[in-house]
């Protein structure tokens, strides 16, 4: 995988459910994120609109902001479609789209998307094989492979095998719900030549009690996810940390609260080897965009 990521700065935003807003509201939010200085905006898997279509809307509303899928799940997407969607975005917005791919987890894929989830790492590897094949359509059209844009890609990776795949078959890794200790391990696994993007959940601008409630509710939603629990076990957490919405120890390790702690956590990830930390600000209303928090944390982009 030769494509490298465009410049995205040290701090960006991870935004779940952007597609739950109107296209106009989403476009305005992206324009504000760009004006605030965030280098990249990462989209979760779409629930209402396809994330590639959503990326087109956001790219069209901004001038320099990089938009990436963080991540698009491979299930239900033919590799040819993935390649053509990414190529269309790069044709229209050169150097401003990153293809983030992953397998997610069975609870989402089977329980929400209604698709079959099995042998995730093998399925991801096979998807990459198909993406890297010469494109017969371009060959038939007389277009050389090298003349067609290839999207830089990153792979969702938590465990050692997934990190190895990201190292060998992509520009780098995208981690989620991790600690700086995991970031250090991921950097060691990736080596110095691959990018490491780390999502960090944050809460600011409310009382300490409200912030802890938001943080615990956020973590509780991921406790049933087997890949996350397996990763937390590797980091030293155990069954006692997985009850009642997550232990204080787990919640505090995964969610940074207050501007001072958020700045410290971002610095800890960067010191441990992260190239880019994307902040997931947790709002009081999950259906709302936390733009007030984006504004108060924009100084971290400097």
Map out the domains of the chain as residue ranges: 11-301
Q: Write down the pLDDT at residue 114.
A: 82
DSSP secondary structure string for all residues of 191-237? -TTSEEEEEEEEE-SS-HHHHHHHHHHHHHTTTT-HHHHHHHHHTT-
Q: Write down the pLDDT at residue 139.
A: 64
Please give the structure tokens belonging to residue 11.
Answer: 């701090």
Q: Write down the pLDDT at residue 143.
A: 59
Instruction: For the domain covering 11-301, report its CATH number.
Output: 3.20.20.30
Q: Write down the pLDDT at residue 299.
A: 98
Rounded to 5 degrees, what angle do the CA atoms 243, 249, 250 make?
60
Instruction: Record the pTM.
Output: 0.95
Question: From CA 208, how far away is CA 8, in angstroms rounded?
Answer: 31
Q: Write down the pLDDT at residue 108.
A: 77
Cα–chain center distance at 250: 21
Question: From CA 244, how far away is CA 247, in angstroms rounded?
Answer: 7
DSSP secondary structure string for all residues of 93-121? STT-EEEEEE---HHHHTTTS------HH
Q: Write down the pLDDT at residue 112.
A: 75
Low pLDDT (below 50) residues in the chain:
1-2, 145
Q: Write down the pLDDT at residue 3.
A: 63
Rounded to 5 degrees, what angle do the CA atoms 22, 111, 232 make?
95
pLDDT tens sequence across 132-184: 998 776 666 665 545 556 899 999 999 999 999 999 999 999 999 999 999 99
pLDDT tens sequence across 98-119: 999 999 887 778 777 788 889 9
Residue 215 · residue 282 · CB < 8 Å: yes
């Amino acid at each position: 995988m030769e494509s490298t990521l465009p410049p995205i700065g040290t701090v960006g935003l991870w935004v779940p459910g952007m597609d739950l807003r109107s296209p106009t509201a989403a476009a305005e939010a992206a324009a504000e994120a760009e004006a605030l200085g965030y280098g990249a905006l990462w989209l979760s898997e779409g629930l209402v609109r396809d994330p590639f279509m959503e990326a087109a809307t956001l790219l069209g509303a901004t001038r320099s902001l990089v938009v990436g899928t963080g991540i698009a799940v491979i299930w239900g997407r033919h590799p040819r479609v993935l390649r053509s969607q990414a190529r269309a975005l790069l044709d229209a917005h050169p150097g401003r789209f990153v293809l983030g791919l992953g397998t997610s987890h069975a609870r989402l894929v089977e329980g929400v998307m209604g698709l079959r989830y099995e042998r995730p790492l093998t399925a991801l590897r096979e998807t990459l094989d198909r993406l890297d094949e010469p494109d017969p359509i371009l060959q038939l059209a007389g277009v050389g492979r090298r003349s067609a844009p290839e999207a830089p890609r990153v792979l969702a990776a938590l465990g050692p095998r997934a990190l190895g795949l990201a190292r060998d078959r992509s520009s780098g890794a995208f981690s989620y719900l991790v600690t700086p200790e995991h970031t250090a391990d991921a950097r060691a696994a990736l080596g110095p030549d691959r990018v490491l993007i780390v999502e960090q959940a944050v809460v600011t601008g409310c009382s300490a009690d409200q912030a802890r409630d938001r943080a615990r509710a956020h973590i509780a939603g991921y406790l049933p996810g087997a890949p996350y629990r397996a990763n937390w076990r590797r980091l030293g957490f155990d069954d006692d940390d997985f009850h009642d919405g997550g232990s204080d120890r787990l919640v505090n390790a995964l969610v940074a609260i207050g501007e001072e702690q958020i700045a410290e956590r971002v610095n800890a990830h960067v010191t441990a080897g992260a190239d880019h930390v994307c902040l997931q600000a947790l709002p009081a209303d999950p259906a709302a965009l936390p733009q007030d928090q984006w504004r108060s944390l924009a100084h971290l982009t400097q």
